[in-house]
Amino acid sequence: MDTNNKITLSFLSLSENESFARSVASCFALHLNPSVAQISDIKTAVSEAVTNAIVHGYPNGVGRIVLESELVGGKIHINVFDFGVGIENIDEALEPFYTTKPDEERSGMGFTIMKSFMDEVRVVSEKGNGTKVYMTKTIRDDAV
């Protein structure tokens, strides 16, 4: 049985940090010997979660984002937290094509993309206190 392992990364909500967070999460998953497709899925989901935090969590400035990742058995758990404006209506935000920025090049597909690339996605948010995105992907069948 594998030993569980966990990392926590805190960074500023700057667009250049999105690729760093994506790389960290995918590199951390390497211990589970994922396929190239699984690595791509993780990178895409983390990219969407971090981009949402940057664009929507802190629309008027720079704030802090936390990425946590934990390996448990054959699964990787990835959490992305911001402490920004929060989401007023999560059910509405989870709908495909919903966007709070229709005048920008935003498709409103971030959560839909996360759900399609990860096995589990859960979003918790409180207006004025930020958003927490919890994602899980099974890499191996021996997941506990």
The pLDDT tens digits along the chain (144 residues) read 446 899 999 999 999 999 999 999 999 999 999 999 999 999 999 999 999 999 999 999 999 999 999 999 999 999 999 999 998 877 766 666 656 665 665 566 678 888 999 999 999 999 999 999 999 999 987 644
Catalytic site positions: 48, 52, 106
Query: Model pTM?
Result: 0.88
Q: What burial letters (b/e) apply to 123-134, b meaning 16+ CB within 10 Å? A: bebeeeebbbbb
Overall size of the chain counted in residues: 144
Q: Which residue has the tokens 């984002």?
A: 65
